[in-house]
Amino acid sequence: MQEWYSIYWFSLSALQKFEWANEYYFYLFTLIPLLFFLKWVFTSQRKKYLTLSLGKIETQYSLFNWLRYLIPVFFVLGISALILAIARPQLQNINNEKYTEGIDIALGIDISESMLANDLNPNRLDAAKNIAKDFISGRDNDRIALVAFAGETSTLSPLTTDYAMLKETLTGLNTSLIKTSGTAIGLALASCINKLRDVPGKSKVVILISDGDNTTGEIDPNIALELAKIFGIRIYSIAIGKNNSTEKIDEATLKNLAKGANGMFFRAADNQTLSQIFNQINTLEKTKFKDTSIRDVSDYYYIYLNWSIVFFLIAFFLKNTFLGNLLKD
């Protein structure tokens, strides 16, 4: 950047770069010739001229006669610089940044003994783990918490964007982690809500994967559902497994939770369907992109204000020398 006293600031290229906050002040330039015209009209009427022939002295005096115009020239330059200053020249640096508004997801996975059924390949739990890992790989800047549940719950991870750690945790997940038998869906949902309730923002989601109805736990699913509504948390529930002669997947609780919390219920009877469900959730809850403009405005009026003061001082100085006397003649 040039110093303020550089004549660069009066070049056409410099002036064209500016955006002028008060450009209507440029109309003041039209008043400059008008002021000089009025001055000439009023002063010419009062002046009386005496013509003398002084030979060489007349030639020398002619040079001083031209020098006396320096005073109005610097005065005009001062006014011009002042007009440029009050027109407020600015340079703007605009940074367009894209940033992600991350979604906070609490993923609850049933690890009860029934999840070892092999109606999905190799079994329900491993199928859920593998699809969940693919789902995590497809996220971008979203925070994910992991909760395992059976008759009790266990927090495997708080909200984090450490996807490698999340996938490693899922890999090691097994039914022996929780000794209490049963399926505590209400307790699991409450635990997921607890991970999300104090998180700012509107994009908060619980994904529950289970193969059964709520059979145990201290918290009723309906109470947990009311908590989800209060904290603005959406619920996607997935009933995993096939119905057969010995077992029928109870979908009622999971359906009710999804419907009541503005989410969706899915039925996964095989690996392909389970994968499609996660792909659909991924589409529904895809990270949103927002454009922001950071507008950095720098004012440069002080440069022309400084120049204006300099020009006025020069004009004042010259007026108090012999050139000022010549101007009166």
CA–CA gap between residue 146 and residue 155 (Å, rounded)? 6
Report the distance separating Cα 51 and Cα 41, nearest Å.
21
Q: What is the pLDDT of residues 25-57, one digit of tens each?
A: 999 999 888 887 887 777 666 555 545 454 444
Confidence (pLDDT) at 100: 53
CATH of domain 101-289: 3.40.50.410
pLDDT confidence tier of residue 290, bands split at 50, 70 and 90: very low
Average pLDDT over residues 7-36: 89
Burial class (CB in 10 A: 0-12, 13-18, 19+), 205: buried
Residue burial 216-251, b: 16+ Cβ < 10 Å; e: rest: bbebebeebbebbeeeebbbbbbbbbbeeeeeebbb
Model confidence pLDDT, tens digit, residues 200-236? 776 899 999 998 888 898 999 999 999 999 999 999 9
Q: Is the pLDDT of residue 135 over 60?
A: yes
Distances (CA, A) of 43 to 30, 262, 327, 328: 21, 86, 12, 10
Distance of CA 66 to the CA centre of its chain: 61
- CATH 3.40.50.410 positions along the chain are 101-289
pLDDT greater than 80 at residue 293: no
pLDDT at position 306 is 94
Comparing C-alpha atoms, which of 267, 213, 258, 265 is closest to residue 233? 258
Share above pLDDT 90 across residues of the chain, in percent, rounded to a whole number = 53
Gap between the Cα atoms of 211 and 237, Å rounded: 10
pLDDT of residue 45: 60
Closest CA to 187 of 208, 160, 226, 216: 216
The reported pLDDT for the residue numbered 264 is: 92
